[in-house]
Homo-oligomer: A and B are copies of this chain.
């Protein structure tokens, strides 16, 4: 894995709507090659799957009203609470929650930015690994190319400022590179080096995707990462997590 990488933005995609065929739309914009990793922002995957909700119909619970206080829309908090399996931390109006999938992130992944219209929220896909698999299969069907697909989103982190992109869904790649048991040049065994390759690819792709550029997809070319990991494998099991 010591060759050069290219990170290619997929430009010119129109606004995505429910039912859109993302594989077809991307394949029309650039020639995919075998071994490419296609990175798709969660936002467009969610929109294509109709995971969008209008604030208008939401009746906030007492808990949502309390967290929202005077400054925040309690209906938005209500949607967050519905998407959450567990609330991890609250500093009103900020809610860090564990989603039903097991991801721990701000607002349980619920986001108003880049929604199709005002007063709409975009939710995470129900099963982002399955979303990635579907899109990968569809690309094979349309183009004959064997690519990997990642669905990514921006997450904050404890201890560090700013967000980075991580993998929420994956198909066709090894999401972690396991170096345990291998040895360095002086013979020291690497005990615990598992590299979250899928998260690193997500961050790399974000560098060309940005938030406002209308570039919700990118291709990483030149990696050798074929495999069959799930992004959900990147969530640390509760019993091994010192910070749950």
Contacts and interface: CB of A to CB of B under 8 A. Distances in A.
A87 to B, nearest CB: 12
A160 B166 contact: yes
B204 A7 contact: yes
A contact residues, range: 35 or more
Given A2-B11, A194-B162, A203 B199 contact: yes
B241 A159 contact: yes
Given A164-B200, A200-B203, A113 B211 contact: no
Contact of A207 (B164, B188, B204, B242): B204
A181 to B, nearest CB: 12
Contacts of A185: 15, 114, 212, 214
A1 B218 CA distance: 13
A235 B159 CA distance: 6
21 contacts: A1-B210, A2-B213, A5-B207, A112-B188, A118-B187, A118-B188, A157-B157, A159-B235, A160-B196, A161-B194, A161-B235, A161-B236, A162-B197, A163-B195, A179-B212, A193-B211, A200-B203, A200-B207, A201-B207, A204-B204, A204-B207
